[in-house]
């Protein structure tokens, strides 16, 4: 539906149209199809690629319908449409999780501080909310404004969900456009949530060098009472920490976390500790080190009550999204709840943030008393493994194809190396143990094989500072900083957990900017060099060449994409306000940023990646991620790489597949590294920038593939692009493949290559 | 079709692979291929069957069959070391994406392939790429030479132990040569 006068008035009111910080661009608060033409342009080059996980559809009572090959379901949908629909559903799930998180935080903080509570991200962050500015056209000033952001996302979600109903949308391309839209909203939701918690809980901001915090299950002092927060919403934990401090016992306990709440806890208090990523949830909870487990929301295992019970840990669930069938005791007095937990051993649900935090602080020292915490020793592990008959049932259910049966049989003989390697690759699903016909507690056995080392993680710093963008804007756009590598996502890595640290270091060494968040930021800290240093100890935490920085939890991902938007705004002076298409086009063609979701797991990671794609940021995925069934791939030799030269207003066939894909799966670490380096190449690179980028691409390719890249001819525009060190070799190679110089252009843009209301001049500043 | 070895690849559909218990009929079918393509996955670098690298079996099959070679993931280096210059280097999903197009010129620019052999691709990724081909590339046949059942291939080996797998590959090579 096009916008009528009433709708326009409502939008103007929401975004305070009369504020003249920037002119209002063409798409304030876009609805589901308002940016569709941009999506179709993207998909003209980067076509959806589907790998159906299931050939059937069982979404309604007509079905199950067989959609194999060109068969249609009873409603008329085909297999491509069905895969597109799945993609939209995944995006919606992810966006809703972040959105609901943001909604909860904002409602809580507005109750506490009122809706006029000011947004202040410190002296170094003036462009406070690039997503809200660019997508909505609103420059948020208060908590009340942040709520407008969430309301906008909520409205988008209803329309998105409705399109997945049977008999509605049927086109794969249109499902994708909707999916891209929801991905974009996801970044708005994340930005809102992280700004809210940063101002509400006074997290560090406008500071690059945040503290280093303890990381790893080995970092926890198990002789103290230990509380472990599992999930993504730190509201309750912050209240609990306040109460522990007030009671004067904060130093005598250990506040720990798994997943993103852990990130936010250390942003609140760097005395808190991070146990590790999602993949270590079952492992850690089964150690019984936690005296009290507090679950909040998202990426929290569905069987926490059983795990807690089995380990003798107390449990408080704190979110209405995860109630576990527990008694809701929210209405009871604090002391009564404490009694129910400490004396009756009850697991409870408390939906009131302040009450849950207070109860947790009171319960913790009591439940910790008299608990024995003994880890499984090597001798005990050997004893537990004796029953193994090497039936391989465990191997068959492992989603990471690990050779568990051999590892267990080795332990039976007192050999632990294989189990250590299985543990390093284990994604923590617990299926092997469930399947074992001999009831061998495989995950517990891992306690005897795991490293109990202590690591460091840099406390999440939130937004990238404007001053940093001013400094790196030009080198990024010219290509002399070869790229921004954003390593995000969950922790089901195909190989060892250390892979993420290795990938991050490869690029930091080469002076790319490496940005991390969420579980990936934790995993990256879990590798030490010969001197015992992690990448956080070794590399500066600046958003600059060779920097390695942690922005924070999942929702802080919005600051990574926000940084790319800020390059367009602060460096290139393009207005952000309601100007999504222009900003996305700028990023796609001129900012060499690439995401890596090496261990994608949750639907949130899918939504984040999809949002990156609409914004022109390519994403490289690990092999597990193919199970989300959809990628955006080009075919470099066959596709048309024509863009507009914005200055000359001429169409130019660049013949250059840059960036080559928007979403691609790679199977090995080596291939991921090469692909990341290649996807940083942009048409806007100067000759000097292109030389630097090709220098890295060639050297990485040689290192891992043993030859010059066989697509090198695609990225050399003329002789000046050839890195000096490889000049002779590359020139000879180019001759053998019949390479010819390619046309040069000064301002590459998609605007003007498809029907759009945006004038070409809008990209020229 | 027997249950795939890895449950993550369990089949949910109607059209599944033909499990070739005996390598000889498979050799016969393969010999009829006009423009076969052999896709090497990263397990070819790692798996050793009693002293012989999996990749070497793949190379022998490709050579005997006259199949074009596609190196995926990080297999190119090892192939070069074995004296094989791959006709193309792609990620697994990239080569699958090309194969979907019946009008593609193929890795040798002589026309799209009619039969694609896969060896050493990660089992979950492999089965999904095969699903893409099953649905969207009805113009070609696929076979997996790994030791597991891949329901989305046209032809698959049964679930085998390493020693039987080695034997299978050796017999297949014999069959192709005869
Ligand atoms: S939604 Fe369509 S394809 Fe799916 S079960 Fe219903 S009728 Fe069949
Ligand atoms: S399922 Fe149990 S008994 Fe069977 S191999 Fe695995 S650990 Fe041993
Ligand atoms: S818990 Fe780990 S080892 Fe066991 S099946 Fe899951 S991923 Fe595999």
Low-confidence ranges of chain B (pLDDT < 70): 1
Residue A245 confidence (pLDDT) above 70: yes
CB A88, CB A64: distance < 8 Å: no
Chain A residues with CB inside 8 Å of B41's CB? 667
A341 with A281, same domain? Answer: yes
Cβ of A79 under 8 Å from any chain B Cβ?
yes
Top-tier CATH class for B18-177: alpha beta
**Residue of minimum CA distance from atom 5 in ligand 3:** A398
Task: Supply the range of the domain harboring residue A756.
Answer: 456-763
| Beta-sheet pairing, A748-749 with A254-258 | unpaired
Mutation to test the B interface, candidates A390, A435, A633, A668, most B Cβ within 10 Å: A668
Write the pLDDT tens digit of every residue in A498-541: 999 999 999 999 999 999 999 999 999 999 999 999 999 999 99
Cβ of A390 under 8 Å from any chain B Cβ?
no
Q: Is residue A342 part of a domain?
A: yes
What is the number of structural domains in chain A?
A: 4
Cβ of A667 and B7 within 8 Å? no
Residue A266 confidence (pLDDT) above 60: yes
Residue A475 is encoded by which pair of tokens?
Answer: 């080198």
In this structure, which long-range contacts are made by residues A384-390, counting pairs with CB atoms below 8 Å and at least 24 apart in sequence? Answer: A384/A440, A384/A441, A384/A444, A384/A445, A385/A409, A385/A411, A385/A412, A385/A440, A385/A445, A386/A412, A387/A438, A387/A439, A387/A440, A388/A412, A388/A438, A388/A440, A389/A437, A389/A438
Residue A375 confidence (pLDDT) above 80: yes
Helices (H) and strands (E) in chain A, counts: 28, 22
At A2 the pLDDT is: 61
A572 with A656, same domain? Answer: yes
A130 with A177, same domain? Answer: yes
Residue ranges per domain, chain B? 18-177
Ligand 2 centroid to residue A424 C-alpha, Å: 19
Domain's final residue, options A369, A390, A413: A369
Chain A residues with CB inside 8 Å of B101's CB? 635, 638
Write the pLDDT tens digit of every residue in A620-638: 999 988 889 999 999 998 8
Write the pLDDT tens digit of every residue in A561-578: 999 999 999 999 999 999
At A79 the pLDDT is: 97
Residue A601 confidence (pLDDT) above 80: no
Q: What is the CATH number of the domain that holds A31?
A: 1.10.8.190
Write the pLDDT tens digit of every residue in A106-131: 999 999 999 999 999 999 999 999 99
Ligand 3 centroid to residue A383 C-alpha, Å: 20
Cβ of B76 and A638 within 8 Å? no
Q: Is A356 in the pocket of ligand 3 (CB under 6 A)?
A: no
| Strands (E) located in B30-126 | 36-40, 48-49, 52-53, 68-71, 88-89, 115-119
**Residue of minimum CA distance from atom 4 in ligand 2:** A391
A426 with A539, same domain? Answer: no
Mutate to test the pocket of ligand 1, among A70, A71, A73, A82 (most ligand atoms within 8 A of CB): A73
At B164 the pLDDT is: 98
Residue A66 is encoded by which pair of tokens?
Answer: 């067989």
Write the pLDDT tens digit of every residue in A350-364: 999 999 999 999 999
Q: Is residue A662 part of a domain?
A: yes
Write the pLDDT tens digit of every residue in A666-713: 999 999 999 999 999 999 999 999 999 999 999 999 999 999 999 999
Cβ of A599 under 8 Å from any chain B Cβ?
no
- Mean pLDDT over residues A159-183, rounded? 97
Residue A1 confidence (pLDDT) above 70: no
Chain A residues with CB inside 8 Å of B98's CB? 635
Which residue ranges have their beta carbon within 6 Å of ligand 1?
A 57-60, 62-63, 65, 73-75, 77, 166
Burial of residue A414, with CB atoms counted within 10 A of its CB: 0-12 exposed, 13-18 middle, 19 or more buried? exposed
At A598 the pLDDT is: 92
A151 with A223, same domain? Answer: no
At A489 the pLDDT is: 86
Helix, strand, coil percent values for chain B (each to nearest 5): 40, 15, 45
Residue of B nearest to A638 (CA): B104
At A490 the pLDDT is: 85
- Mean pLDDT over residues A71-88, rounded? 97
A618 with A490, same domain? Answer: yes
Cβ of A51 and B42 within 8 Å? no
Write the pLDDT tens digit of every residue in A221-237: 999 999 999 999 989 99
Distance of CA B43 to the CA centre of its chain: 12
Ligand 2 centroid to residue A384 C-alpha, Å: 11
Domain's final residue, options A200, A230, A251: A200
**C-alpha closest to that of B70 among B39, B91, B109:** B39
Burial of residue A372, with CB atoms counted within 10 A of its CB: 0-12 exposed, 13-18 middle, 19 or more buried? exposed
Residue A721 confidence (pLDDT) above 60: yes
Burial of B123-154, coded b for 16+ CB within 10 Å and e otherwise, reads bbbbbbbbbbbbbbbeebbbbbbbbbbbbbbb
Average per-residue pLDDT in chain A?
96
Q: What is the CATH number of the domain that holds A273?
A: 3.40.50.2030
Which residues of A, range 84-103, sit inside 8 Å of B by Cβ? none
A318 with A406, same domain? Answer: no
Q: Is A392 in the pocket of ligand 2 (CB under 6 A)?
A: yes
Write the pLDDT tens digit of every residue in A433-464: 999 999 999 999 999 999 999 999 999 999 99
Q: Is residue A317 part of a domain?
A: yes
Ligand nearest to the CA of A422: 3
A409 with A462, same domain? Answer: no
A132 with A195, same domain? Answer: yes
A603 with A534, same domain? Answer: yes
């Amino acid at each position: 539906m096009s916008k009528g006068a009433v709708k326009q008035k409502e939008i103007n009111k929401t975004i305070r149209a009369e504020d003249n910080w920037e002119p209002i661009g063409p798409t304030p608060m876009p609805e589901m199809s308002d940016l569709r033409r941009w999506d179709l342009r993207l998909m003209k080059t980067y076509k959806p690629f589907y790998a159906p996980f299931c050939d059937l559809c069982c979404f309604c009572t007509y079905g199950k319908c067989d959609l194999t090959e060109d068969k249609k379901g009873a409603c008329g949908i085909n297999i491509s449409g069905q895969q597109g629909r799945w993609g939209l559903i995944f995006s919606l799930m992810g966006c809703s999780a972040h959105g609901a998180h943001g909604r909860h935080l904002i409602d809580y903080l507005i109750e506490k501080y009122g809706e006029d509570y000011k947004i202040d991200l410190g002296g170094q962050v003036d462009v406070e909310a690039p997503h809200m500015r660019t997508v909505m056209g609103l420059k948020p000033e208060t908590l009340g404004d942040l709520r407008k952001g969430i309301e906008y996302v909520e409205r988008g979600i209803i329309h998105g969900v409705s399109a997945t109903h049977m008999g509605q949308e049927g086109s794969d391309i249109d499902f994708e456009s909707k999916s891209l839209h929801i991905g974009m909203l996801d970044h708005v939701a994340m930005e809102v949530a992280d700004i809210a918690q940063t101002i509400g809980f006074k997290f560090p901001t406008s500071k690059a060098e945040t503290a280093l915090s303890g990381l790893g299950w080995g970092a926890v002092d198990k002789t103290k009472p230990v509380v472990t927060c599992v999930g993504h919403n730190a509201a309750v934990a912050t209240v609990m920490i306040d109460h522990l401090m007030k009671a004067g016992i904060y130093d005598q306990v250990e506040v720990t976390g798994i997943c993103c709440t852990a990130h936010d806890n250390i942003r609140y208090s760097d005395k808190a500790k991070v146990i590790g990523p999602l993949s270590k949830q079952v492992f850690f909870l089964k150690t019984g080190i936690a005296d009290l487990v507090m679950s909040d929301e998202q990426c929290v295992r569905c069987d926490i009550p059983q795990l807690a019970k089995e380990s003798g840990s107390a449990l408080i669930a704190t979110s209405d999204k995860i109630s576990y069938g527990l008694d809701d005791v929210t209405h009871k007095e604090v002391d009564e709840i404490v009694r129910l937990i400490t004396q009756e051993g009850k697991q409870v649900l408390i939906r009131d943030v302040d009450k849950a935090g207070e109860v947790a602080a009171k319960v913790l020292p009591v439940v910790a008393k008299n608990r024995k915490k003994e880890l499984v020793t090597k001798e005990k592990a050997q004893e537990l493994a004796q029953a193994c008959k090497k039936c391989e049932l465990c191997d068959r259910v492992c989603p990471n194809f690990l050779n568990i049966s051999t590892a267990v049989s080795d332990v039976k003989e007192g050999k632990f190396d294989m189990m250590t390697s299985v543990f390093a690759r284990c994604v923590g699903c617990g299926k092997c143990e469930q399947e074992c016909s001999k009831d061998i507690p495989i995950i517990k056995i891992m306690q005897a094989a795991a490293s109990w080392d202590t690591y460091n993680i840099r406390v999440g710093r939130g937004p990238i500072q404007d001053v940093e963008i001013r400094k790196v804007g030009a080198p990024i756009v010219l290509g002399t900083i070869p790229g921004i590598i954003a390593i995000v996502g969950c922790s089901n890595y195909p190989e060892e957990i250390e892979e993420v640290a290795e990938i991050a270091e490869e690029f930091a060494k080469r002076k790319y900017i490496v940005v991390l968040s969420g579980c990936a930021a934790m995993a990256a800290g879990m590798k030490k060099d010969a001197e015992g240093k992690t990448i956080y100890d070794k590399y500066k935490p600046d958003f600059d060449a060779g920097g390695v920085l942690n922005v924070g939890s999942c929702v802080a991902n919005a600051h990574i994409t926000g940084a790319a938007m800020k390059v367009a705004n602060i460096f290139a002076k393009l207005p952000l306000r309601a100007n999504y298409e222009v900003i996305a086009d700028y990023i796609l063609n001129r900012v060499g940023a690439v995401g890596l979701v090496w261990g994608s797991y949750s639907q949130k990671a899918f939504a984040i990646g999809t949002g990156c794609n609409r914004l022109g940021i390519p994403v490289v995925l690990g092999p597990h991620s193919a199970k989300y069934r959809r990628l955006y791939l080009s075919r470099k030799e066959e596709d048309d790489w024509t863009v507009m030269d914005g200055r000359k207003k001429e169409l130019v066939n660049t013949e250059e597949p840059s960036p080559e894909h928007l979403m691609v799966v790679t199977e090995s670490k080596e291939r991921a590294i090469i692909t990341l380096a290649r996807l940083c190449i942009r048409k806007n690179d100067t000759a000097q920038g292109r030389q630097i980028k090709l220098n890295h691409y060639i050297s990485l390719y040689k290192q891992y593939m043993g030859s010059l890249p066989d697509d090198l001819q695609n990225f050399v525009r003329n002789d000046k692009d050839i890195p000096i060190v490889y000049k002779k070799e590359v020139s000879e190679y180019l001759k053998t493949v019949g390479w010819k110089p390619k046309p040069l252009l000064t301002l590459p843009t998609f605007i003007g290559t498809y029907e759009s209301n945006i004038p070409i001049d809008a990209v020229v500043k | 079709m027997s249950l795939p070895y890895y449950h993550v690849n369990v089949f949910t559909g109607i059209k599944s692979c033909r499990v070739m218990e005996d390598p000889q009929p498979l050799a016969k079918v393969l010999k009829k291929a006009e423009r076969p393509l052999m896709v090497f996955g990263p397990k070819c670098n790692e798996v050793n069957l009693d002293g012989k690298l999996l990749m070497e079996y793949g190379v022998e099959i490709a050579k005997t069959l006259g199949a074009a070679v596609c190196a995926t993931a990080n297999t190119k280096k090892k192939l070069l070391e074995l004296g094989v210059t791959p006709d193309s280097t792609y990620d697994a999903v990239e080569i699958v994406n090309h194969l979907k197009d019946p009008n593609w010129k193929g890795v040798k620019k002589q026309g799209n392939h009619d039969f694609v052999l896969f060896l050493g691709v990660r089992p979950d990724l492999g089965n999904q790429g095969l699903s893409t081909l099953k649905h969207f590339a009805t113009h070609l046949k696929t076979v997996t030479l790994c030791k597991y059942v891949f329901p989305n291939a046209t032809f698959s080996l049964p679930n085998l132990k390493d020693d039987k797998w080695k034997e299978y590959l050796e017999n297949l090579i014999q069959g192709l040569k005869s």
